[in-house]
Amino acid sequence: GAGVSQTPSNKVTEKGKYVELRCDPISGHTALYWYRQSLGQGPEFLIYFQGTGAADDSGLPNDRFFAVRPEGSVSTLKIQRTERGDSAVYLCASSKFAGDYGYTFGSGTRLTVV
């Protein structure tokens, strides 16, 4: 596609529920990144993929967070047993390859845990 697409744009869920956030990168981009942006702060790195494999997941806060990219294109960020502190905007970005400086971000998914 023309840009990075993230769905849903907004998600409200109850504490303890499971959520999935989807990212559709720019066609042909092999690197895909997830960031989390809390209100009034800069984005924080979560995980990035080169192709299908997670190359660096050091930013995932705990084992409730997991991400996959089974076919090297679309990625899904999964959050189990959501907590109110998980409320944030989850941003996805892609680039031609890991190490390429041409990042493009999506508009994000705003997750609210009530």
Site residues (vs other proteins, CB under 8 A): 4, 31, 33, 35, 40-45, 48, 50, 55-56, 59, 91, 93, 95, 98-108
Residue 62 or 101: which CB sits closer to other proteins? 101
Shortest distance in whole angstroms from residue 21 CB to other proteins: 14
Residue 21 or 108: which CB sits closer to other proteins? 108
38: Cβ–Cβ under 8 A, 6 or more apart, which residues?
44, 88, 89
Residue 33 or 65: which CB sits closer to other proteins? 33
Q: Are 94 and 50 in contact (CB under 8 A)?
A: no
Query: In angstroms, how far is the first alpha carbon of the chain from the final one?
Result: 33
What is the signed CA dihedral for 107, 93, 83, 69, rounded to 10 degrees?
A: 130
Shortest distance in whole angstroms from residue 1 CB to other proteins: 14
